[in-house]
C-alpha cells in the first residue's frame, strides 16, 4: 500500500496530531492497569494494542510474523527481523488504520481493548538493551567543549577521521518520566589539591538522538557502510545526563565513567527508519580542508541520503514555574543535521573491528548543538561552564540544574507537502541526592 502524504486516519485524534499521525506509527511497549508489558503502536491519542489485534485475527503473513516477534514485552526479536518485517507491519497498519478501512468496524467494536488511551497507559523501555554506546558526533558541541578546556586546540586531530565514542552503562537507561536522582561522587574543588566526596553540584543535560540497532552481525564480521543503514531499526530522543564536576575530575585518561552512568533517559517510542524516509537529506558538506572519510566509512548513497532533518528542542520547567503556572522555557532549538557523521557511519565504524552488535543495542549520537547560541544542547555550553547564568522568565537564574528542575526534549520532522511527525517527549525531573 502506498503511503499518501495526505492520508488520514479514521481515528480522529491522529489527524493533525503533533507527534503521532498515521504517517508515523512508532512502536513501543506499554501496560494498562498493571497488565504485563505488551507491544503497541502510537496513533493519535491512542495506542493500538498489537497483542490484542493479533488475537483478533487482524494480521497474516509477514505482518503476523512481525507482530508475533514483538510479543513478550520487548522488541528485540522484532528488531532482529530487519527491514522487510518492518515494512510488512507498517503496510498492514496503514490498511487497518487509514480512513476507509474495511476493518474499522471490527476494530471499533473492541473499543479500549484494542485502542486504549495513551494517557491511561504506562510506557516502558521498548527493548532489553544489552549494550549502549555514546558517540560524540555533534561537531559544534565538540568545538564548544574543546574551547573551554583547550582554547588553542578545540578539536583533537582524530575527530575528523574517527567517529569518537565510548561504552556506556545500559543498566541505568530509563524511559521518559523517571526521576533523575542527583548523583554523588568525587570532585576537585577549585584551588584545592585533594578531592572531596558529595552530591554533584554541576548537573547538566545533553540533547541527543538515540539509534536502535536492528539486525546485528556475527563476532568478527564487519558491517559494510553500504549495508549499515539496513541494521538500524529506528530512532528515539536521548538525554545523556552529565555530572560536570565529577566528569572534570575523572575523565583523564579514560573518559567518562560515574559522571554519565547514573541515568540516561530516552523517549519510549521507536520511530522507524521508514517513517523518517521523507526527512532524509544529503549529509552536509564538510568544511573546506576537512579530510574525506576513509573508504570503509564512505558510501555515495549514504552521503546523498544518510542525514536526517529532525528539529530538536530542549525546555526547562522549574519548581517555581510549576507553582506560578508558567510554561516550560525553551533553552535550545537544534537539528540532527548537526551530526558530523551519519548513523550508518556509526554502525560501520562500531563493527569494523569485528565487534558484535545485537538487536536492541542502543547508540547515542552525542550532543547535537548548532552553531548559534540559541541552538546549544547543554548548559555547559550555554553558560560557558557556569560563567554566564541563564536568566529565566520566572526570575530565576541557572548555571546548572537544581533539584526540582525538569528537562523536556521534543522533536519534530517537517517538510512541505508531508505530514509532520514527532517522537513524543523525553522528560526527567531532578530529585535530591540520597
Q: Which residues line the annotated binding site for substrate? A: 136, 150, 247, 251, 367
Cell output for 324 = 506560578
Which own/partner pairs from 96-103 qualify as long-range (CB within 8 Å, at least 24 positions apart)? 96/48, 96/53, 96/58, 97/9, 97/10, 97/11, 97/14, 97/22, 97/25, 97/43, 97/48, 98/1, 98/7, 98/8, 98/9, 98/10, 98/22, 99/7, 99/8, 99/9, 99/10, 100/10, 101/10, 103/58
From the annotation, which residues make up the binding site for Mg(2+)?
A: 240, 260, 264
The b-or-e profile of 135-144 (16+ CB within 10 A means b, else e) is bbbbbbbbeb
Task: Confirm if 216 and 357 have CB atoms less than 8 A apart.
Answer: yes
User: How far is 40 from 126, CA to CA, in rounded Å?
Assistant: 10
Residue 419, number of CB atoms within 10 A of its CB: 23
350 carries an active-site annotation: no
From the annotation, which residues make up the binding site?
A: 134, 136, 150, 206, 208, 240, 247, 251, 260, 264, 367
- Say which residues have a Cβ less than 8 Å from residue 78's Cβ, sequence separation at least 6: 27, 39, 66, 69, 70, 85
User: How far is 362 from 185, CA to CA, in rounded Å?
Assistant: 26
Task: Confirm if 41 and 27 have CB atoms less than 8 A apart.
Answer: yes
> Phi and psi of 234, rounded to 5°?
170, -170
- Residue 429 bridge partners (DSSP): 406
3-state secondary structure of 35: coil
3-state secondary structure of 179: coil
DSSP-derived letter for residue 281 is E
The single residue of 17, 46, 124, 141 carrying the catalytic annotation is 141
User: How far is 423 from 410, CA to CA, in rounded Å?
Assistant: 7
C-alpha 191: how far from chain center: 38
- Say which residues have a Cβ less than 8 Å from residue 264's Cβ, sequence separation at least 6: 132, 168, 169, 172, 173, 174, 238, 239, 240, 241, 364
User: How far is 209 from 188, CA to CA, in rounded Å?
Assistant: 31
From the annotation, which residues make up the binding site for Ca(2+)?
A: 134, 206, 208, 240
| Nearest in space to 302 (alpha carbons), one of 343, 248, 358, 274 | 343
Active site residues: 141
Amino acid at each position: 500500500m502506498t503511503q499518501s502524504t495526505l492520508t488520514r486516519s479514521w481515528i480522529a485524534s491522529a489527524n493533525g496530531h503533533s507527534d503521532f499521525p498515521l504517517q508515523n506509527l512508532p512502536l513501543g511497549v506499554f501496560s494498562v492497569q498493571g497488565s504485563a508489558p505488551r507491544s503497541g503502536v502510537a496513533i493519535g491519542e491512542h495506542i493500538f494494542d498489537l497483542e490484542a489485534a493479533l488475537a483478533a485475527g487482524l494480521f497474516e503473513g509477514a505482518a503476523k510474523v512481525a507482530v508475533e516477534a514483538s510479543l513478550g514485552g520487548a522488541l528485540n526479536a522484532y528488531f532482529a527481523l530487519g527491514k522487510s518485517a518492518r515494512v510488512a507491519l507498517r503496510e498492514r497498519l496503514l490498511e487497518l488504520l487509514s480512513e476507509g478501512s474495511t476493518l474499522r468496524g471490527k476494530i471499533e467494536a473492541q473499543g479500549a481493548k484494542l485502542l486504549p488511551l495513551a494517557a491511561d497507559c504506562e510506557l516502558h523501555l521498548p527493548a532489553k538493551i544489552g549494550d549502549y554506546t555514546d558517540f560524540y558526533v555533534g561537531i559544534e558541541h565538540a568545538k564548544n567543549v574543546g574551547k573551554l578546556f583547550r582554547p588553542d586546540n578545540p578539536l583533537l586531530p582524530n575527530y575528523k577521521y574517527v567517529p569518537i565514542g565510548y561504552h556506556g552503562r545500559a543498566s541505568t537507561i530509563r524511559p521518559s518520566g523517571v526521576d533523575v536522582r542527583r548523583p554523588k561522587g568525587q570532585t576537585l574543588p577549585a584551588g584545592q589539591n585533594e578531592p572531596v566526596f558529595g552530591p554533584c553540584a554541576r548537573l547538566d543535560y545533553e540533547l541527543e538522538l538515540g539509534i536502535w540497532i536492528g539486525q546485528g552481525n556475527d563476532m568478527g564480521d564487519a558491517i559494510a557502510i553500504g549495508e549499515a543503514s539496513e541494521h538500524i531499526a529506528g530512532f528515539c530522543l536521548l538525554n545523556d545526563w552529565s555530572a560536570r564536576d565529577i566528569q572534570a575530575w575523572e575523565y583523564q585518561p579514560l573518559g567518562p565513567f560515574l559522571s554519565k552512568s547514573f541515568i540516561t533517559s530516552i523517549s519510549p517510542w521507536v520511530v522507524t527508519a521508514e517513517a523518517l524516509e521523507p526527512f532524509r537529506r544529503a549529509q552536509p558538506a564538510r568544511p573546506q580542508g576537512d579530510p574525506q572519510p576513509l573508504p570503509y566509512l564512505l558510501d555515495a548513497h549514504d552521503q546523498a541520503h544518510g542525514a536526517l532533518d529532525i528539529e530538536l528542542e530542549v525546555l526547562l520547567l522549574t519548581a517555581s514555574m510549576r507553582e506560578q503556572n508558567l510554561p516550560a522555557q525553551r533553552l535550545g532549538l537544534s537539528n540532527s543535521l548537526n551530526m558530523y557523521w551519519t548513523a550508518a557511519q556509526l554502525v560501520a565504524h562500531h563493527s569494523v573491528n569485528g565487534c558484535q552488535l545485537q538487536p536492541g543495542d542502543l547508540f547515542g549520537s552525542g550532543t547535537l548543538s548548532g552553531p548559534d547560541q540559541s541552538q546549544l544542547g547543554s548548559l555547559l555550553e550555554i553558560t560557558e561552564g557556569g560563567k554566564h547564568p541563564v536568566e529565566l522568565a520566572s526570575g530565576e537564574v541557572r548555571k546548572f540544574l537544581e533539584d526540582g528542575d525538569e528537562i523536556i526534549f521534543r522533536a519534530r520532522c517537517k517538510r512541505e507537502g508531508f505530514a509532520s511527525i514527532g517522537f513524543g517527549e523525553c522528560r526527567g525531573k531532578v530529585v535530591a541526592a540520597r
